[in-house]
Amino acid sequence: MSGTWIEVCRTDEIDEKDVLGFECRGEKYAIYNTASGFYATAGVCTHEAADLSMGLVIDDIIECPMHQGRFHIPTGKAKSAPACVDLKTYAVKIEDGMVLIELPDGTFAESTA
C-alpha cells in the first residue's frame, strides 16, 4: 500500500509504555512507544469510539479507557471483549528523532481533488 508519511512528534515526546493521540484531517490516531518499538493504530476504540490515547499501555496491549477492551498494538487485533473488531494499524518509521506514520493516500483525497 502506498501512502504519505506524516511527521507526528519527536520520539522523546512519548514516554516508554505510553500512547499519544494525533489528529489528521479529522481522523484520530494513536501512536505507541512500547518495549518492541513505536507503533500506530486508529485512535478510537472499535467498540464505542472511546479515545485510545487516554488508554493504558500494558506491554504490547492497549486497553480502552472506557470499557477496558484490549487490542494488540503491533497487529491491532482485538484481544478481549467488549472489543471484537480489530483496529487499523499504520506503518511507523523513525527519522532524525522524529516519529512518522504512513497514512493511505486516500486520507488526502480532499486536498488533491
In this structure, are residues 111 and 28 in contact, taking their beta carbons and an 8 Å threshold? no
Strands 61-63 and 89-90, by their bridges, are: unpaired
Instruction: Report, in Å, the least distance between residue 99 CB and another protein.
Output: 17
Nearer to another protein by Cβ, of 50 and 73: the residue is 50
Nearer to another protein by Cβ, of 68 and 107: the residue is 68
Nearer to another protein by Cβ, of 4 and 80: the residue is 80
The C-alpha cell at 55 is: 488508554
Instruction: Report, in Å, the least distance between residue 48 CB and another protein.
Output: 5
Instruction: Report, in Å, the least distance between residue 77 CB and another protein.
Output: 14
Instruction: Report, in Å, the least distance between residue 62 CB and another protein.
Output: 11
Binding positions for another protein, rule: CB under 8 A? 15, 18, 44, 47-51, 55-56, 58, 63, 65-68, 70, 80-82, 84
Where would I find the beta strands (DSSP E) of 1-113? 3-10, 18-24, 27-34, 37-42, 56-58, 61-63, 70-72, 78-80, 89-90, 92-95, 98-104
Nearer to another protein by Cβ, of 30 and 47: the residue is 47
Element (H, E) at 65: none
